[in-house]
Amino acid sequence: MADNNTDSTAKTLKIIIAVLAVVIVGMVVFLVMNNSKKEKEKQDLTEQKQIIETQLEDYKYMYAALKTDNDTLSVKLLEEQEKVEMLLERIKKAEISNRSQLKKYEDELGTLRAIMRNYVQQIDSLDRLNKELMTEIRQVKEDHQQTTRRADELAQRTTDLSSQVEKGAVLKARDVYAVGLNAKGKENGNSKRVEKIRVCFTLIENSLAEKGPRNVYLRVKGPDGIILAESEDNLFASGDSQLVYSAVREVDYQGEDIEMCIFCDTFGTQKGTYELTLYSGGSLIGIGDVAFK
């Protein structure tokens, strides 16, 4: 009878030991799996944190690279760059232990991303506008230089593009040409026989120019560099200067093309080339030359 009780007790003990073994193994497996899960979560959080840090580093250099001539926008860009640097320092020092902490930094990163996108769009818009304005300015300058390339005096006054509107109202003369006339009024190119110079041209249509009577002054510079003039008192105003003129003619200008000629006495003609300049309203409006043998 005692042997039976001993066997029963041994069996019960074995069962208890087996159950405990199973429980222990289960707990060990649970702890291992739980630790593995925590390590995986920690690794994921670390990787996500590094991604945010990398993006913030990129934004910091992107802000530093953004350039604009707009002073107000430049100040704002500097402020946003400082915010990026501060957030970067905070996240580097932070110990990310859960997803909610990481989510807070991701939200801040998203806000900074949206702000940067807005500034990039503003700068792109300003750049496009500046390029369009520069293209228009270059075109105006090219057109102006083409029509006045030989007018040094006018070119010096129009180097500043901001004066283009005012210059738009200035008369212009095209097709300037000249011939010598002898005593009988016949065309002649022999310097010994030329007594007058006839200078003809067309005043160009200009709806902005002032309409009504106006004087057109002719200056003729001889080969010796002297302006042909009947008197030293034959003067007209041009800017801050008083210039001697060779001849003058009044014309009733009504904003349309008008052909006209001016005659100038030569007071003795030399061989060589004579430079011709036309003025009206104090501005240079046309140039030309004529040569006599």
String of DSSP letters for 175-221: EEEEEEE-TTS-B---TTT--EEEEEEEEPP-TTSPPEEEEEEEEEE
C-alpha to C-alpha distance for 200 and 148, rounded to whole angstroms: 18
Task: Please report how many Cα atoms fall inside a 13 Å half-sphere around the Cα of residue 278, on the Cβ side.
Answer: 30
Angle in degrees, CA 176, 181, 183, rounded to 5 = 160
| 91: three-class secondary structure by DSSP | helix
Task: Please report how many Cα atoms fall inside a 13 Å half-sphere around the Cα of residue 121, on the Cβ side.
Answer: 6
Please state whether the predicted TM-score (pTM) of the whole model is above 0.85: no
C-alpha to C-alpha distance for 203 and 206, rounded to whole angstroms: 9
pLDDT of the residue at 240: 87
Angle in degrees, CA 42, 43, 46, rounded to 5 = 85
pLDDT of the residue at 162: 47
Residues of the chain with pLDDT under 50: 162
Contact 171, 280 (CB under 8 A): yes
Q: Where are the domains of the chain?
A: 2-127, 164-292
With b for 16 or more beta-carbon neighbours within 10 A and e for fewer, the 137-158 pattern comes to: eeeeeeebeeebeebebbeeeb
C-alpha to C-alpha distance for 287 and 293, rounded to whole angstroms: 21
| 290: three-class secondary structure by DSSP | strand
Contact 211, 271 (CB under 8 A): no
Residues contacting residue 118 through CB under 8 Å, at least 6 positions apart: none
Nearest to 167 by CA among 284, 287, 253, 288: 284
> Considering only the top CATH level, what class is 164-292?
mainly beta
* Amino acid occupying residue 141: K
pLDDT of the residue at 217: 94
- Residue identified by tokens 């030309």 is 288
Contact 45, 39 (CB under 8 A): no
